[in-house]
Amino acid sequence: MRLYVEGIGLLGPGLDGWMAGRAILSGAAVYLAAPTNLRTSNMLPAAERRRAGGPIKLALAVGQEAILQAGRDSTTVATVFTSSGGDNDNVHAINSILATAPREVSPTRFHNSVHNAAAGYWCIAAGTHEPSTSLCAHDASFAAGLLESAVQVTVDDAVVALIAYDHPHPEPMHRERPIAAPFGMGLILAGRRNERSLAMLEVDFVSGTAHETAMQDAALEALRIGVPAARGLPLLAALTVGGPAQIRIAYFSGHHLNVRVTPC
């Protein structure tokens, strides 16, 4: 499947936006881990801004950055949201409420707990009625999102915003399912090359195990391994190379994705 990257969003520990992150991922700047700079998107109306938790802020921030870089109208772009957990802070709060009396969960907490909450906030913020898909595939969540986006671009000739994000669980769930840090990335993907195109991706679904492409920097590799959404870091790094590159991203049951990157 062949698709074109038009815009990129990035937000993670020490990776505050694509412009800063690009220098780090290319090796031109030293990576220094720092708390993720979570910020509320100015796309949201005031009432929704107050209700949005950390994972929602993360997803909308990278989606908005990618849309702005691509110069696309957010009302015309389909979305694929992928996360291994969703709003883990909110799930923890609901579990805590249900373990005590009275067991009264607020409507805001409930609607933020569903896995497509980020998609709902995005549709409100972007004013869009375009199709939206929300996925969860444990550690393969980024690969699943990229595969779904590639299919939609190829089959439906859609312009798709792929938004991958993950946020740590509070304790005690963090001990059972550790996620190293809040991290998100966004890609605007289209089926035709144009003046906005940054690179061409050729995505193949391949049966059989293969060594995943790792990050050369040890701290960035720890981030890649420690956050499911950060499995996309090698793809972002390949987009900074300035020449052709090929990466492998693990999927389920011994399958993987081969992704060839060619700058436009």
pLDDT in tens, 2-20: 999 999 999 999 999 999 9
* pLDDT of res. 70: 97
Query: Are 79 and 132 in contact, with CB atoms under 8 Å apart?
Result: yes
Tally of domains in the chain: 1
Q: Work out the angle at residue 171's Cα, subtended by the Cα atoms of residues 168 and 175, and round it to the nearest 5 degrees.
A: 80
Q: How far, CA to CA in Å, does 46 sit from each of 67, 175, 199? A: 21, 35, 36
Judge whether 149 lies within some domain. yes
CATH number, domain containing residue 46 = 3.40.47.10
Residue 9 belongs to domain spanning: 2-196
Q: What band does 170 get if pLDDT is binned at 50, 70 and 90?
A: confident
21: tokens are 């992150």
What is the percent of the chain with per-residue pLDDT over 90, rounded to a whole number?
74
Q: Is 119 inside any structural domain?
A: yes
Q: What is the pLDDT of residues 127-145, one digit of tens each?
A: 999 999 999 999 999 999 9
**Lookup result for tokens 């963090």:** 174
Domain assignment present for residue 248? The answer is no
**Closest of 196, 182, 215, 155 to residue 73, by C-alpha:** 196
Q: How far apart are CA 92 and CA 33, in angstroms?
A: 26
- Give residue 207's pLDDT: 92
Q: Are 165 and 118 a contacting pair, CB within 8 Å?
A: yes
17-57 pLDDT, tens per residue? 999 999 999 999 999 999 999 887 788 877 777 778 889 99
Considering the chain, what percentage of its residues have pLDDT values greater than 70?
A: 100
Task: Kindly calculate the radius of gyration of the chain based on its CA atoms and give it in whole angstroms.
Answer: 18
Q: Is 240 among the domain residues?
A: no
Specify the pLDDT at position 214. 97
For the cut 90, the answer to whether the pLDDT of residue 201 exceeds it is yes
98 found inside a domain: yes
Whole-prediction pTM: 0.94
Please determine, for residue 263, whether its predicted confidence score (pLDDT) is greater than 80.
yes
- 158 within a domain of the structure (yes/no): yes
Whether 163 and 62 have beta carbons less than 8 Å apart is answered as: yes
In a domain, 106, yes or no: yes
174-187, pLDDT tens digit by residue?
899 999 999 999 99
Angle between helices 117-126 and 54-70 (to 10 degrees): 50
Q: What is the mean pLDDT of the chain?
A: 93
Query: How many other CB atoms are found less than 10 A from the CB of residue 156?
Result: 12
Tell me if 132 sits within 8 A of 122, measured CB to CB.
yes
Q: How far apart are CA 34 and CA 219, in angstroms?
A: 11
In a domain, 255, yes or no: no
